[in-house]
Structure 1
């Protein structure tokens, strides 16, 4: 069961909350689990199972891609109030690339299971819209990172 502060945080940051009925809200609360990860912990790897959505309460996460040669590129960072959708990429069938997520700082978050979220988004168009909106926001972050990497000189990036 979520503590009152978790429930308040969830209702404030899960923007589809206002478009969910009481049964859907109760189910969401029952499927949201508070978790703590120490700095340096890998929360999600491209080859791992579809973990779920991360709603960051405190700390910071880094989403990145890893090449076969071991090179990394940071796609975006997530702080308090941000939500990571790529850790639940199985919910969005159009995501076909592997992303890893690490805790950059000690991080507290709410984890919403991917199977539950997939079911909820099938039943509630506002939740589905929320997921796709979040996906497009992250895509914009990724495109900015690519623009910096590909088109900005090294001295300007530093």
Structure 2
């Protein structure tokens, strides 16, 4: 580990500077730095958790996978954030129950399990883990609410908004984001296009009527 990496780590995770001098030194000495290319699987279902990741650059997409190949995205881990699946597995001494895949080239520091266990005795570190644990739980509760109570057309409309005028994305990618299947998403997109809300082309969705999409996201007038 060089000084630049240490500085970037501290910038992303200021909590490390609040640890005692001995604890911080142990973290830095035991750190395992990893550069991982986009699309690499960091962990998978039923795999043992070897440590706690600190993301310094890039992002990791965490999802729950069904035996039939369908995925339900749970959350993303960006620099400065934590992975609730990793922390829960470490705290509960359980294997992973989800999959983590890098979305972009990613730089991370992996804190070994034994050191993570010891750091939980440091109050600043423990408070940091549980605070972000609570935030992730709130995010997951919102996801459960959307899946259970919002129709797919509403969720698709909301997903399209806020990403710019033109989205360079495949129907399969949108389906993966929604935990659905490509055929249903393609049918909904065609319905959106017929209503003049979007224009479709190969691996591209152009937003024509943002106000209409916002209304649809709120009301869900199209039948899925």
| TM bucket normalised to smaller | 0.7 to 0.9
CA distance in 2, matches of 1:152, 1:141: 16
Q: 2:58 matched to which residue of 1?
A: 59
Higher relative contact order structure (alpha carbons within 8 Å, sequence separation ≥ 6) = 1
Q: Which has the larger radius of gyration?
A: 2
- Structure 1 or 2: more helix by fraction: 2
Q: What is the root-mean-square deviation in Å for CA atoms of aligned residues? A: 2.1
- Structure 1 or 2: more strand by fraction: 1
Shift of 1:87: 2.3
Q: 2:32 matched to which residue of 1?
A: 33
The superposition leaves residues 1-41 of structure 1 with CA deviations (integer Å, 9 ceiling, x where unpaired) of x2112211222333432431111010010122221111111
Q: 1:68 matched to which residue of 2?
A: 67
Pairwise mapping of residues 87-98 of structure 1 onto structure 2 (< 5 A)?
Answer: 87-93=86-92, 98=97
The superposition leaves residues 40-72 of structure 1 with CA deviations (integer Å, 9 ceiling, x where unpaired) of 111011211113222222222101111233321
Structure 1: which 5+ residue stretches go unaligned? none
CA distance in 2, matches of 1:106, 1:37: 6
2:149 to 148, 151, 154: 151
SS class of match (1:47): coil
CA distance in 2, matches of 1:129, 1:46: 27
CA distance in 1, matches of 2:94, 2:13: 21
Structure 1 ranges of 4+ moved more than 6 A? 94-97
Structure 2: which 5+ residue stretches go unaligned? 157-224
CA distance in 1, matches of 2:83, 2:41: 14
Q: TM-score, normalised by structure 1?
A: 0.86
Structure 1 window deviating more from structure 2 (129-138 vs 81-90): it is: 81-90
Shift of 1:73: 0.6
SS class of match (1:68): coil
SS class of match (1:83): coil
Number of paired residues? 156
Q: Give the conservation status (yes or no) of the 8 Å contact 1:87–1:99.
A: no
